Structure 1
């Protein structure tokens, strides 16, 4: 039995279709991240699961029971919001235990649950403070603690790290990962940040215009993107997209005379003269041949940028640009000719008409 099942969920506002039939089944302990840009429908879907918005069609099952018509308090879920949503006049202790207090849980049980959550989140020393005396990261831990004490079947997170600075975001992300590994809870987490998605999720649903573009593990999404949209959205810097034409068993790069071999796994799947988009991740490009089978691309360096852990090169191949991530101590001269090497198994091919990957 799935911990959470989303069956053909749809949402319309008048003539505007926000969700176009979402189907996902989550087993107990999974961490699902709904990933996509603003307006793709991810927060709408989360609100429908929580009961804060009404679906126009479909069903939501939690623990095998339909909750589509149930009140939010009866759905056995707990939600953590982007804005923390803490009571400013209550102490941390009462904020964490407030939901239990409203459910008439005895004071001794309530105190035990609050102390357990505070210990997990390492905020025992903050219990007698009020939210105004806390940092953003501490407030978010309190909000998470309030959800933890409920011990629900499903936790819902709506962009919980968006209000934190970069350092706090990374620290809190690590804490969330640790908590999930410790508690084995079922989580649905909404974000537009692909780093959060890749580091936290057991599965990612990449959303676009109210649909799921691809559903898979982080490695599946990253290594085998199903479409140009997924390939461009996941990865930093994003995947290089190069226009090519099939010529026999080679791919001729548009705007240049350069050509690279057509990887053997695509033989028989593309046609001579077909226009395609060759995708290759910046980190798959190297300054040296990794093996005798490495393929070289003749380029000219346009700009090089040192980020600290890597040197990001923007190079030109004919009239097209591509990005490469190379070791930070590499000696690169802007304007110089440079051959970038890659392995054939790192190549992705996409149909520009459909936007879908060539399998």
Structure 2
């Protein structure tokens, strides 16, 4: 039995359709990340699962039971908010155990659950403090602890790390990954950060304009993007995209007269004369000499530490390459780059759909 089933869920606000038919089936223990930019509908979908918003159509089932019309407290879910939503006048101990207290759980059982959760989150020393005495990362751990202590069927996280600085975000992300591996909990997690999605998820649903562009494992979404939007959204730096036309001799880049050989695995995907977009990941590009695929006019060189990020132009289109940190390139020079055939992706120029 699926832990969570979302069946053709729609949501409208007057004439505006926010969700346009969402279908997801989530097995027990999966970590699903709803990934997309602001306004794509991911938080609306999470609120419908939680019971904080009503669906205009479709169904939501938790543990095989439809929860449409069921009060949030009766859905067997726990939610962690972006803003922590802690009670400022209560200690950490009471914040974690407050939900159990409201459910009349016996004191001894409640105390045991709070202590076990605090130990798991490594916040035993903070139990007597108030939220105002905690750092942002500690507050988020308390909010997570309040959800964990209830042991629901599904955990819902609404951009829980967005208020943390970069170092705390990375540490808390690692902590979430560790907790999921230890507990095998079922999680639905909303974020606009593709690094969070790639590192945490067992499956990612990339959303756009109220629809799912692609649903798959992090490896599938990254290495086999279903659309041009997914290819550009997932990856940092994003995938390079060049405009071309399929010719008899290969892929002819717009305005350059340069031809890229069409790989064997893509020869049946695009007909003669078809307008396409070529996708190449920045890390797939490498320095080359002699005859090669791309000649790039270097505009920006950035050393990040582990890699050298180089940005330039191929004709009128921008190209980024991630190189070893010892590479020697300067602004203003022209550099040849090559790449393996299997690193090339093709997309239809009009629909944005991947060509296989």
Q: TM-score range by the shorter chain?
A: over 0.9
Displacement, 1:268? 2.6
Pick the aligned partner of 2:316 from 319, 337, 348: 319
Pick the aligned partner of 1:308 from 302, 305, 309: 305
TM alignment of 1:64-143, pairs within 5 A = 64-143=64-143
TM-score norm. by structure 1 comes to 0.97
Aligned to 1:343: 340
The answer to whether the Cα contact below 8 Å between 1:244 and 1:252 also exists between their aligned partners in 2 is: yes
The answer to whether the Cα contact below 8 Å between 1:91 and 1:131 also exists between their aligned partners in 2 is: yes
Aligned to 1:214: 214
Aligned to 2:239: 239
Distance in 2 separating the partners of 1:325 and 1:314: 9
Distance in 1 separating the partners of 2:350 and 2:224: 19
Distance in 2 separating the partners of 1:249 and 1:202: 41
The answer to whether the Cα contact below 8 Å between 2:292 and 2:336 also exists between their aligned partners in 1 is: no
Displacement, 1:343? 0.3
1:354 aligns with 2:345: no
Displacement, 1:295? 5.1
Displacement, 1:121? 0.3
SS in 2 for 1:331: coil
Aligned to 2:174: 174
The answer to whether the Cα contact below 8 Å between 1:295 and 1:343 also exists between their aligned partners in 2 is: no
The answer to whether the Cα contact below 8 Å between 2:33 and 2:203 also exists between their aligned partners in 1 is: yes
Distance in 2 separating the partners of 1:255 and 1:304: 25
Distance in 1 separating the partners of 2:151 and 2:138: 21
Q: How many residues end up aligned between the 2 structures? A: 355
Distance in 2 separating the partners of 1:6 and 1:151: 21
Distance in 2 separating the partners of 1:271 and 1:241: 19
Gaps of 5+ in 2: none
Moved more, 325-334 or 172-181: 325-334
The answer to whether the Cα contact below 8 Å between 1:121 and 1:141 also exists between their aligned partners in 2 is: yes
Aligned to 1:296: 293
TM-score norm. by structure 2 comes to 0.98
Gaps of 5+ in 1: none
Deviations 1:281-326 (A, max 9, x none): 101101148xxxx953222222211111111111222222211010
Distance in 2 separating the partners of 1:218 and 1:269: 24
Deviations 1:167-199 (A, max 9, x none): 000000000000000000000000000000000
Distance in 2 separating the partners of 1:25 and 1:48: 15
TM alignment of 1:180-219, pairs within 5 A = 180-219=180-219
Q: Compute the RMSD of aligned alpha carbons.
A: 1.1
Moved more, 53-62 or 255-264: 255-264
Q: 1:151 to 1:295 in 2, by over 3 A?
A: farther
Distance in 2 separating the partners of 1:231 and 1:61: 31
Distance in 2 separating the partners of 1:295 and 1:80: 51
The answer to whether the Cα contact below 8 Å between 1:244 and 1:277 also exists between their aligned partners in 2 is: yes
Distance in 2 separating the partners of 1:343 and 1:58: 45
Distance in 2 separating the partners of 1:325 and 1:211: 32
Aligned to 1:332: 329
Distance in 1 separating the partners of 2:246 and 2:319: 20
Distance in 2 separating the partners of 1:216 and 1:198: 11
Distance in 2 separating the partners of 1:257 and 1:302: 22
The answer to whether the Cα contact below 8 Å between 2:243 and 2:278 also exists between their aligned partners in 1 is: yes
The answer to whether the Cα contact below 8 Å between 2:155 and 2:186 also exists between their aligned partners in 1 is: yes
Displacement, 1:273? 1.8
